[in-house]
């Protein structure tokens, strides 16, 4: 696998840092020497022991010195043997096989493994304390690998390389690649209505035009160096639980991805829909260096298509409703035709029945009038009959009482009738009275005779009227069809007592 320039730059920076640290250690002794520290620690320990043991030896406490040496050897596993010697070489106290373990250093100088500390009594040498330490069994390579300074340098090299790699990667993301793009090329990209983005193999945006910046509502400067996949992209299909961006697939498969729909959720507005086309960018060795991604905003077109679909659905629903209404109208029209025919028949029957009712009503009216006339005529006839009877009685007895009294007077004065008529006051009035009665009777007779003739004519006329009205009062019969069941129900309802 060919290393990228970013890796080589990071490796060079890490090597430079390591070289500076080594140079600093060589020039100014930055890191303490481990062996020197151990030697100084052992020397200090030996000198401290020498002072203590010399004080105990002066008091002739040899057993205490041995006990202290044994305790020290048990607790410090690095001590192989200890020995306290006088100036003449006599051993005062020792621990371990000091004769075999001790190797006298050259020039009587102490080494890391063999330390000797002179002891003085006043200004005169009294003896020496010798301490033999164990020699480590590790090899030079193990010693080198376990050396803290070596491990520190290794840690700085590795972590420095990783840190430089991360730092350079983040730094390069923030670089504006538009500075190396010709102005006319950038102007041409910004003139495009579609959003155009160039990314590297890690989906990091290295170039974006103004159309894409406006579409995602972010400035170009904030888009450069950011991950294109970190935008709120969402799949159009709700079944896609894991979204694989088309530019990622294009880089992985080294194939173009055309017309891939994606949704972008924007917090301040509704999601926008884009048709994404991705073309991988490859060098001469067919190695993918990035991808060119174009975003075509089809939000308004998709909204128009949605509205058109809704309108089509509404039109379809309206068409179905119109067809349904047409069927209902046809059914209603057919029912209306049937009902009109039935109404025409009912109107004809109604007209016929109406004529019959009119005739019956006219005849009934005429019969009512005739009955009224007959009733009145009957009353008149009764009056005429009464009058006629009265006239007949009057004619039969015209002034019967007076004539009878006159006759009675004549009969009383039959013997002296002349004297009575001439001398008697009553008798004198009888002749004149008789003349008046005669005249009255004559006039009454003529009058009664004429009235009787008139009454006879009127009676004949009334009889003719009565006969004609009797013909009219004969009511005509009208037949009307009826249900026997309805008639029975009405009869039962009429016969039932009211509650």
Cα separation of 385 and 390, whole Å? 8
Residue 166, pLDDT score: 83
| Residue owning tokens 């008697």 | 424
Average confidence (pLDDT) over 352-381: 74
Write the pLDDT tens digit of every residue in 397-424.
556 566 777 777 777 777 777 777 777 7
Determine the pLDDT at residue 386.
65
User: Average pLDDT for residues 125-145, to the nearest whole number?
Assistant: 70
pLDDT value at residue 276: 92
Q: Give the dihedral sign, CA 222/228/231/236.
A: positive
Write out pLDDT tens, residues 243-286.
Answer: 788 998 998 888 899 988 988 887 777 788 889 999 998 877 77
Cα Rg, the chain, nearest whole Å: 79
Q: What is the pTM of this model?
A: 0.38
Give the H or E element holding residue 126: strand 124-133
Separation CA 85–CA 87 (nearest Å): 7
> DSSP assignment of 56-87, as one string?
HHHTT-HHHHHHHHHHHHHH-TTEEEEEEEET
Write down the pLDDT at residue 180.
Answer: 47
pLDDT tens digits for range 159-188? 988 988 888 777 765 555 555 455 676 777
Encode pLDDT of 102-124 as tens digits. 888 876 677 777 888 887 766 77
Please state whether 424 falls in left (phi above 0), alpha (psi between -120 and 50) or beta. Answer: beta
For 479, list phi and psi in degrees, rounded to 5.
Answer: -95, 135
The DSSP H or E segment spanning 407 is helix 400-412
Region 84-102: what's the mean pLDDT?
80
pLDDT tens track for 430-460: 777 777 777 777 777 777 777 777 777 777 7
What confidence tens digit (pLDDT) does each residue in 462-489 have?
777 677 666 655 555 556 676 777 777 7
Half-sphere exposure in the Cβ direction for 10 (13 Å, CA): 22
């Amino acid at each position: 696998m060919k290393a990228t320039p970013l890796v080589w730059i990071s490796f060079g920076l890490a090597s430079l840092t390591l070289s500076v640290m080594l140079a600093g250690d060589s020039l100014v002794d930055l890191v303490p020497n481990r062996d020197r520290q151990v030697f100084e620690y052992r020397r200090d320990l030996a000198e401290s022991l020498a002072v203590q043991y010399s004080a105990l030896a002066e008091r002739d406490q040899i057993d205490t010195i041995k006990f202290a040496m044994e305790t020290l050897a048990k607790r410090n596993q690095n001590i192989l043997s200890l020995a306290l010697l006088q100036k003449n070489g006599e051993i005062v106290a020792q621990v371990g096989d000091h004769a075999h373990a001790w190797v006298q250093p050259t020039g009587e100088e102490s080494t890391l493994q063999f330390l000797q500390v002179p002891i003085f009594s006043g200004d005169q040498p009294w003896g020496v304390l010798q301490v033999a330490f164990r020699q480590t069994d590790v090899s030079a390579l193990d010693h080198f690998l376990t050396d803290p300074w070596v491990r520190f340098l290794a840690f700085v090299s590795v972590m420095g390389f990783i840190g430089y790699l991360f730092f350079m990667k983040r730094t390069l993301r923030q670089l504006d690649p538009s500075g190396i793009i010709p102005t006319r090329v950038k102007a041409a990209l910004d003139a495009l209505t579609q959003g155009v983005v160039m990314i590297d193999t890690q989906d990091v945006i290295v170039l974006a035009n103004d159309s894409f910046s406006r579409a995602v509502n972010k400035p170009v400067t904030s888009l450069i160096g950011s991950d294109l996949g970190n935008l709120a992209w969402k799949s159009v299909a709700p079944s896609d639980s894991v979204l694989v961006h088309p530019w990622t697939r294009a880089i992985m498969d080294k194939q173009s991805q055309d017309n891939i729909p994606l949704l972008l959720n924007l917090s301040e507005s509704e999601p926008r829909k884009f048709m994404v086309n991705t073309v991988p960018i490859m060098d001469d060795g067919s190695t993918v260096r990035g991808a060119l991604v174009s975003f075509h905003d089809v939000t308004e077109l998709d909204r128009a298509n949605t509205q058109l679909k809704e309108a089509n659905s509404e039109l379809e629903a309206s068409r179905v409703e119109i067809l349904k209404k047409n069927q209902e109208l046809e059914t209603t029209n057919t029912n209306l035709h049937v009902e009109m025919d039935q109404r025409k028949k009912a109107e004809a029957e109604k007209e016929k029945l109406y004529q019959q009712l009119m005739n019956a009503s006219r005849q009934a009216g005429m019969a009512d009038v005739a009955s009224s006339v007959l009733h009145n005529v009957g009353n008149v006839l009764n009056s005429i009959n009464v009058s006629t009877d009265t006239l007949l009685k009057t004619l039969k007895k015209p002034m019967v009482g007076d004539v009878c009294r006159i006759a009675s007077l004549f009969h009383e004065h039959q013997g002296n009738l002349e004297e009575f008529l001439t001398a008697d006051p009553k008798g004198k009035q009888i002749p004149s009275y008789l003349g008046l009665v005669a005249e009255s009777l004559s006039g009454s007779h003529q009058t009664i005779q004429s009235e009787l003739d008139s009454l006879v004519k009127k009676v004949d006329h009334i009889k003719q009227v009565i006969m004609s009205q009797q013909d009219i009062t004969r009511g005509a019969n009208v037949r009307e069809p009826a249900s026997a069941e309805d008639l029975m129900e009405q009869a039962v309802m009429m016969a039932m007592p009211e509650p």
